[in-house]
Structure 1
Amino acid sequence: MTRSGGVSQGEVAGLQCGFGAGDDDADVRANRRIVSETVLPGARLVTPYQVHSAKAAIVTETWAWENRPQVDAVVTDRPGLLLGIVTADCAPVLLADRAAGVVAAAHAGWRGAHEGVIEATVDAMTSIGADRSRIAAAIGPCIAQASYEVGEDFRKNFSMADDAGFFESGREGHWQFDLAGYVGKLLRQSGVSQPESVADDTYSATRADDGSFRYYSYRRATHRGEANYGRQLSVIGLAGPLAS
């Protein structure tokens, strides 16, 4: 989802779906209902407590908000559950094995991706019946390489094998990192043969009609000195009777 629509106001105006963004909680809940009803009417939205980890959880039922697990990917084979993750520059990854009826949503920032969240997600999917060769994956809007400047300390987290082709030289002592490309590589290494990417830059993409920004972006908000930044919500689910 982009930030178009929704009921939030102020700096995070639009379809702002993250709690902790200086937004009204009632507006966030309303925006989440808009997303849920647009994608899978009647479904129960399930979102984790994201911590930039390499952990994935298999979901069989909804959980109390205060008891949601600290993971960065959620996986299910239960119709009627809508899996969601929030992002604001990190890569949202949605995965599905239609034949097995298994879906997943993963939050892949550079750290989680580097530490194994993609591999953990695919492993969790296969543990409940998915086949790697059948999994389709889409990498949603995230910060693009042209907007993602990093320093030498950042690059040192990656081995030469890790970073091949994903760093371009920038200004002195800095690099431009290709997060979507890196996540795509990890998906292919996990057996997902042809991941697709939206290739839209959360930092810079604007609407054609009025020039306003299409997405929420942590880095852009920081560079502009804004007090808060919003989050977009990416969701995937299985149609069918609600899970009990």
Structure 2
Amino acid sequence: MTVDVITSSALEGIPHGFLGRRGGVSQGVVAGLNVGTGSGDDPLAVAQNVRLACDAVMPHASLARVYQIHSALAVTAEPWSMDARLKADALVADRPGLLLGIVTADCAPVLLADREAGVIAAAHAGWRGAIDGVTDAAIEAMEALGARRTRIAAAVGPCIAQASYEVDPGFRDRFLAADPANARFFCEGGPAATPHFDLEAYVVARLQAAGLTDIDALALDTYPDPDRFYSYRRATHLGEDDYGRQFALIGLAP
């Protein structure tokens, strides 16, 4: 099966892609293009999937990843080894021939680019990183390399959608304490009328508040589409003992 590369019109002309589970070599409960080194998958299969994914976006590129910790930390990427990865949740670069990669399994992947400056970024925006400002940190790190936020385009890739994202009242209270206007990202749903959170809309709002105007939200829900995407929450609800992770990649052509 061919690797499924989802692209954004906001990043046209920049090598990039949001990848799901189609086209990989992993088997079993993580069957497909699993790139999660933290899963229980065969490391050789994960390594092959990583190469397949990178070659589908920018062949022969070097890859930079971080050790993701649900933070608001952003770092400038180098083609370091997996063992030398820094702990962070966003990485930026102005180096041609380098792919930036972050992994998700319901969290929001965000890819950003200032074409004129030749500066790119990739951010992993789970709810913790999102509320703590991971996208703001990525934008600030891009500016340190010469980008201007008025020129930055951003795309928010496949993530868990509001209909699938039931949370508890304490979760909602944390967002309301940060800003009462965050109430607009919650609705009541299900038989128990529990809060549901719109992660994608929240991330888009954070990008807009940071001054970005060219933002593409792909509106792809990871939870209800097991043939196309991995989902941590779906795997948990099904009682599966492992879950896969999917890539978001962006690079600058050599």
TM tier, smaller? over 0.9
Once the two structures are TM-superposed, the CA of residue 169 in structure 1 deviates from its matched residue by 1.1
Does residue 72 of structure 2 align to residue 72 of structure 1?
A: no
Once the two structures are TM-superposed, the CA of residue 63 in structure 1 deviates from its matched residue by 1.4
TM-score (norm. length: structure 1): 0.93
Does residue 200 of structure 2 align to residue 186 of structure 1?
A: no
Could you tell me whether the CA contact under 8 Å between 1:151 and 1:173 is conserved in 2? no
Could you tell me whether the CA contact under 8 Å between 2:22 and 2:227 is conserved in 1? no
Question: What is the CA–CA distance in structure 2 between the aligned matches of 1:197 and 1:183, rounded to whole Å?
Answer: 9
Question: What is the CA–CA distance in structure 1 between the aligned matches of 2:81 and 2:223, rounded to whole Å?
Answer: 33
Once the two structures are TM-superposed, the CA of residue 174 in structure 1 deviates from its matched residue by 1.8
| Counterpart residue number, 1:202 | 222
Question: What is the CA–CA distance in structure 2 between the aligned matches of 1:8 and 1:187, rounded to whole Å?
Answer: 35
Q: Which runs of 4+ in 1 moved over 6 A?
A: none
Once the two structures are TM-superposed, the CA of residue 173 in structure 1 deviates from its matched residue by 6.0
| Counterpart residue number, 1:164 | 183
The Cα offsets for residues 10-56 of structure 1, whole Å up to 9 and x where unpaired, read as 00000111112110000001000001111111100111000000000
Once the two structures are TM-superposed, the CA of residue 187 in structure 1 deviates from its matched residue by 0.4
Total equivalences in the alignment? 233
Question: What is the CA–CA distance in structure 1 between the aligned matches of 2:55 and 2:181, rounded to whole Å?
Answer: 40
Query: Which residue of 230, 234, 237 corresponds with 2:248?
Result: 234
2:188 partner amino acid: S
1:111-190 alignment, distance < 5 Å: 111-159=128-176, 160-171=179-190, 172=192, 174-190=194-210
Structure 1 gap ranges (5+): 206-211
The 3-state SS of whatever aligns with 2:167 is strand
| Counterpart residue number, 2:20 | 2
Structure 2 gap ranges (5+): 1-18
Distance 1:194 1:164, change over 3 A: farther
Report the identity percentage: 56
RMSD, aligned α-carbons: 1.1
1:87-126 alignment, distance < 5 Å: 87-126=104-143
The Cα offsets for residues 77-124 of structure 1, whole Å up to 9 and x where unpaired, read as 000110000000000000000110000000000000001101000000
Does residue 39 of structure 2 align to residue 25 of structure 1?
A: no
The 3-state SS of whatever aligns with 1:164 is helix
Question: What is the CA–CA distance in structure 2 between the aligned matches of 1:197 and 1:102, rounded to whole Å?
Answer: 20
